[in-house]
Structure 1
Amino acid sequence: MENLTFRRATENDLPDIVNMLADDHLGETREKVTADVRELYIKAFEIIDADKNQELTVVETNGKSVATFHLTFIQYLTHQGGLRAQIEAVRTKSDYRGKGIGKKIFEYVINRAKEKGCILLQLTSDKQRPDAIRFYEDVGFKATHEGMKLKLD
């Protein structure tokens, strides 16, 4: 898909972003699009937006938001003090999936990570998302590590 623009998200983008995050079988179980949690999303957005090492991005075509992702730059001591980029919460609106937007997102993100001097771009994907995992492999990611998470609530 041509005519994509990438920009930092604003607070006004939160309803669209949350709806995109909730628009799949896993997201619908952990996101809420109700007014009673709006303040939680606003607080998280303010923290993200104030941090120079985080970029919450909206992807638009013809002025309409069609995708989002969250990029974080993490300073490590390993790899001789190398900087890593981590991409999470990659979502494309369901009616725009399959149009090449995901590949354009990763072209953008790879270039952005290189601009910042990153030595590595990493991500996690839930094992219940086999299509997403195949997509990430298609754009060059390799499952080189075993990831683990500990749910704290």
Structure 2
Amino acid sequence: MGDLEIRPAAEDDVPAIVAMLADDPLGAQRESPDDLSPYRAAFERLAADPNQRLVVAVREGRVVGTLQLTFIPGLSRRGATRSIIEAVRIHADERGSGLGTQLIEWAIDASRRQGCSLVQLTSDASRTDAHRFYERLGFSATHVGFKLQL
């Protein structure tokens, strides 16, 4: 399958990232790959924030995966810093290849290097395959999450 590189996302990667975000039933309802301007603006905000890591997985010059890792300093848990993994996406051609595991392991290692004591993530309730995947990697479904659309 060729060598894999996990690196910080560049602005030129935005179209490929958005395409992966839109390439599933949930993403197709909420993403707009025909207008990249809001994504490019968001990329600039992410790039300027030292607590954000937007990364891509690249194989043979092609973006095949992505995730966003956010570091959150806090007072709870004895002043612990935690990280949140968001927007994990694997290109359809790469699903089942182990790439998702590699990306999550990268995020866990990056969290350790940043001094985090906890890594957390959310997954839509309908993504039962993803839930099994995260549990295989050692994550536990310990909380109930809530969202408020603004």
Quote the offset at 1:107 in angstroms: 1.4
Structure 1, unmatched stretches of 5+, are none
Structure 2, unmatched stretches of 5+, are none
- TM-score, with length taken from structure 2: 0.97
Superposition RMSD on alpha carbons, in Å? 1.0
- TM-score, with length taken from structure 1: 0.95
Contact 2:58–2:65 (CA<8 Å) still a contact in 1? yes
Give the number of aligned pairs. Answer: 150
How many Å separate the matches in 2 of 1:139 and 1:58? 20
What does the per-residue CA deviation read over 1:104-148, in whole Å, with 9 as the maximum and x for residues that have no partner?
A: 111111111000000000000000111111111111100111111
Structure 1 match to 2:29? 29
What does the per-residue CA deviation read over 1:29-56, in whole Å, with 9 as the maximum and x for residues that have no partner?
A: 000111xx32211111100010000011
Matched, 1:62 2:32: no
Seq. identity, %: 49
Contact 2:54–2:68 (CA<8 Å) still a contact in 1? yes
Give the residue type in structure 2 aligned to 1:103.
T
How many Å separate the matches in 2 of 1:70 and 1:113? 12
Structure 2 counterpart of 1:39, from 30, 37, 40 = 37
Structure 1 match to 2:107? 109
How many Å separate the matches in 1 of 2:37 and 2:110? 30
How many Å separate the matches in 2 of 1:130 and 1:29? 19
